[in-house]
């Protein structure tokens, strides 16, 4: 399914052929990715648990985003909110509006299921541009503080600043 198309950007469902392209491109830029991540997303899409989207820029796979229809972890678990998971734009395609368009489409899909959407974002500097984008788009932290994996970090606890150290955010869509 095609969700958006203009002269440069196309947003469509993730297809099996995209999995290897994204894996190779992410590894080429040093992100240490495995194809299993995309195979899982494709399976979840086939099982109607999520919308898994890919962005093309001038015909080249450039980014991806996933909207799971029900958040199953973190402070929003069991509230019935959709959750945006695993959002990325390949470095060579950034600053072209691809990420914003992926977020626009993801939020439109989420709005079909709830008036609120949630997401989590890593705390290290590698997530800096995503952190800024989410705030500019109106996402607010939930107030539960930092989480590591699927548990809140206790006050003054030592933790590792890796991809599992996150803040949870939500946004009212309507």
**Predicted pLDDT of residue 31:** 87
pLDDT of 71 strictly over 90: yes
How many CA atoms lie less than 13 Å away from 167 in the CB half-sphere?
17
Residue 124 to residue 159: CA distance in whole angstroms:
12
Domains and CATH numbers, the chain: 2-172 (3.40.630.30)
20-59 pLDDT, tens digit each:
999 999 999 988 889 999 999 999 999 999 999 999 999 9
Structure tokens at 81: 């909110």
What interhelical angle do 35-46 and 16-28 show, nearest 10? 150
**Predicted pLDDT of residue 70:** 96
- CA 51, 55, 60: angle at the middle one, nearest 5? 140
**Predicted pLDDT of residue 32:** 87
Residues 6+ apart with CB under 8 A from 161: 123, 124
Average pLDDT over residues 132-157: 95
85-99 pLDDT, tens digit each:
999 999 999 999 999
Residue 46 to residue 105: CA distance in whole angstroms:
19
**Selection from 96, 100, 70, 94 nearest residue 83 by Cα:** 70
């Amino acid at each position: 399914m095609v969700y958006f198309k203009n002269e440069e950007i196309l947003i469509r469902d993730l297809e099996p052929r995209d999995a290897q392209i994204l894996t190779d491109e992410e590894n080429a830029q040093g992100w240490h990715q495995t194809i299993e991540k995309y195979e899982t997303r494709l399976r979840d899409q086939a099982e109607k648990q999520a919308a898994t989207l890919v962005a093309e820029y001038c015909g080249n796979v450039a980014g991806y985003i996933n909207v799971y229809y029900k958040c199953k972890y973190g402070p929003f678990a069991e509230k019935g909110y959709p959750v945006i998971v695993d959002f990325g734009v390949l470095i060579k395609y950034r600053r072209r509006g691809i990420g914003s368009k992926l977020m626009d489409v993801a939020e439109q899909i989420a709005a079909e299921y709830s008036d609120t959407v949630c997401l989590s974002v890593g705390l290290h500097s590698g997530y800096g541009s995503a952190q800024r984008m989410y705030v500019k788009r109106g996402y607010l932290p939930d107030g539960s503080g930092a989480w590591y994996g699927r548990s809140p970090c206790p006050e003054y606890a030592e933790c590792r600043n890796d991809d599992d150290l996150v803040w949870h955010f939500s946004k009212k869509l309507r």
